[in-house]
Structures are given as structure tokens and as C-alpha cells.
Amino acid sequence: MKRRQFMTAAAASAIVAATGPVRAQSKLVLKATDVHPLGYPTVEAVVRMGKKLEAATNGRISIEMYPSMQLGGEKEMIEQAQVGALHIARISVGPMGPLVPEMNVFNLPFVFRDAAHMEKVIDGPIGTEIMQKLSDHPTANLIGLCWMNAGTRSVYNSKRPITQVSDLKGLKIRMMGNPLFVDTMNALGGNGVAMGFDQLINAMQTGVVDGAENNEPSYDSGQHYRYARYFSRTQHLMIPEILVFSKRQWNSLSADDRALIGRLSKEAQLEQRALWYEAEKEATRKMVAAGVIINDVPNKKEFQDAVRPVWDKYAGQHKALIDRIQAVN
């Protein structure tokens, strides 16, 4: 036993001696992933961040982007980042809510007044605190790098336009994997069905669901308009997104490299924002060209009133935080 331990230690130091100086200069390729395709604002912002990283380190650090769910759906991306199988994942706050309770506040329907309000919150002290909660979380195993915009989410389906709450009755609507969202759709009278973004196209094709809800760029780039031609601007959710780094991988970086990645992430946050507004406009233009039937919801208040039970269930424990969010203007 003693002998084996000695051998192991000796072997280990031999490896360190052999790889130490090589490792110091070796290239680091950060594996990044996103459910969206190349050109989508979140993907583009990370690709640009990779170029800056390469330039700043003379090619020592770069980012290799795996877009379009090449490494699996959002759930798989999160899991891979958690175990260190990839470095960077761009995910929605939606599926992180059950793990980091404070983040779930951003998942409450109609929690932000408008995009400007949401941006002020994520750019300010509340955004920093909540991101820190994620990084400090003992089991999430993720470092939060920055926020990104994701517009508002609206319901789309294959059956009819939704102009009032009662129009949702009986419709099976795919929601992200978080009980809060299923409860939201059920409170609106529809049937919320939780499933991954990667399963959605097939579920719409086969009629497992009648539709889903998302922002315009996701509806467009995912080609969801092929199966759900009614896009109703319910705008019930405004969920920011996050860029996360595997904590396991982060811990192996030097302090300087961490600082550089942190700084470039903040730049990526602002770059993505500009790209986002362009993408929203472009997606809407393409939706109109594709013959999507788009409608506004004349009485938003009716929708807000209908989701009161969701607030009763999830908001109570975060009253102080919600008061602070509402006070931001």
C-alpha cells in the first residue's frame, strides 16, 4: 500500500515536471455553446469576444463556438458546464430559477415594466448581486460572467390568435423547464407543458403541443412560424439571459486571465444589446414576410391579473428584492 502511494506520488511529480513548462505556454481553447445558430445576437457577441481574447493574448486563448444545440439542449449545456466538459455556456435565467431562488424573481410574469427597466436592473447593483448569488452558489458550479438581452416572450400557436386570456383555454403550450412557467401558463388557462427547446420543433410537428412562447428572434431562427402561424404579443415574460463559465475550469485559470475574460464579458453584454435590437427588428420583418399572423393584446391588464396566483406562490419570499426592482426607474 505504502509502495503504491509512493509510486503514485512519484509518477505525479514526473508528470508535473514534464508538462509544467509546456502548459504555461500551451494554447487554451475555450469551448462555448449556445442553442442558437451563428449570427444570433448572443452567439455573435461570444464569437466577437473570442476574437478579442485571441488578440489580447497573442493567440494563447481563443473561443471555439458550438452553436445550434450541437452539444445538446440548454439542460445538457448547463450540465456540461457544471462538470467542466465545456467552458462557456449562454443560457436563459429561466432554467436557473429553481436552483438560484433570487434569479427566479426575474422569471415572474410582468416583473419588469419595459426593456429600459429590465436593463437598468441588470446593469445596476441588483444585477451584480444576483449574478454573484449564482457564482457563490455551492452546487451550481457556475461563474456568472454577464447578462444579455432576450426581449419579451409572447405566445404563438397553430390554432388561433390570442387576444384575451380565454383564447388560451385548452391550448397545449410548451414552456421552459421551470415549474414557475408551467404555473404561469396554467394560470392563464392554457396547458403548460415543460420541455427542452431542443424538443420543441418535433413536439409542434407531431401536435404534442399547439404552440410555445418566446421572443421574435427565437421564433424566427428556430423556424417555429412553420408550425405556429399565430404570434400574439402577450409579452408576459421578459427574461434576461446569462453567460456562464464552468467553475471547475475557472478555478484553473490565472487571476489575470480571469480578469481579462471578466472585462471582455462586460463588453460582450453591451455588444449583444445593440445586436439584439437589430435582431428583433429583422425577425419581425421576416415574420411579416413569411405571412405570420401577428396581433397585439388590447388589454394586458387582464393577463397581469390572471397570473396573480403565480405571484402569490413565488413572490412572497422575495418581497424585499421585488420592492427594490420596482423602485428602479
CB of 77 to ligand GTR, least distance (A): 9
Kindly state the helix (H) or strand (E) to which residue 44 belongs, with its residue range.
Answer: helix 41-56
CB of 192 to ligand GTR, least distance (A): 13
110: which 3 cell numbers? 410582468
CB of 214 to ligand GTR, least distance (A): 5
Which lies closer to ligand GTR via its Cβ, residue 176 or residue 310?
A: 176
CB of 141 to ligand GTR, least distance (A): 19
The contact mask relative to ligand GTR for 45-84 (x = CB under 6 A, - = no) is: -----------------------------x----------
The answer to whether residue 178 forms part of the interface with ligand GTR (CB under 6 A) is: no
Nearest to 194 by CA among 206, 207, 178: 178
The answer to whether residue 35 forms part of the interface with ligand GTR (CB under 6 A) is: yes
Q: Apex CA 49: angle with CA 256 and CA 59, to 5°?
A: 60
Of residues 197, 225, 245, 276, which one binds ligand GTR by CB under 6 A? 197
Q: What are phi and psi of 30, to 5 degrees?
A: -85, 125
Q: % helix / strand / coil in the chain, to the nearest 5?
A: 55, 20, 30
Give the span between the Cα atoms of 167 and 140, in whole angstroms.
38
Give the span between the Cα atoms of 184 and 169, in whole angstroms.
13
Which residues, including other chains, have CB under 8 Å from residue 311's CB and lie 6 or more apart? Answer: 108, 109
Find the binding residues for ligand GTR in span 248-267 (CB under 6 A).
Answer: none
Which lies closer to ligand GTR via its Cβ, residue 121 or residue 150?
A: 150
The number of residues in the chain equals 329
The contact mask relative to ligand GTR for 122-161 (x = CB under 6 A, - = no) is: ----------------------------x-----------
Give the span between the Cα atoms of 271 and 282, in whole angstroms.
17
The answer to whether residue 241 forms part of the interface with ligand GTR (CB under 6 A) is: yes
Of residues 178, 218, 232, 269, which one binds ligand GTR by CB under 6 A? 218
Which lies closer to ligand GTR via its Cβ, residue 91 or residue 307?
A: 91
55: which 3 cell numbers? 488578440
Burial class (CB in 10 A: 0-12, 13-18, 19+), 13: exposed
Of residues 103, 168, 176, 264, which one binds ligand GTR by CB under 6 A? 176
Of residues 33, 80, 82, 92, which one binds ligand GTR by CB under 6 A? 92
Of residues 214, 221, 232, 272, which one binds ligand GTR by CB under 6 A? 214
Kindly state the helix (H) or strand (E) to which residue 234 belongs, with its residue range.
Answer: strand 230-237
**Range in contact with ligand GTR (rule: CB under 6 A) among 91-99, 101-109, 265-273, 280-288:** 91-99
Angle of the 255-289 helix axis to the 41-56 helix axis, nearest 10: 150
275: which 3 cell numbers? 445586436
Residues that bind ligand GTR (CB under 6 A): 35, 74, 91-92, 94, 150, 176, 197, 214-215, 218, 241
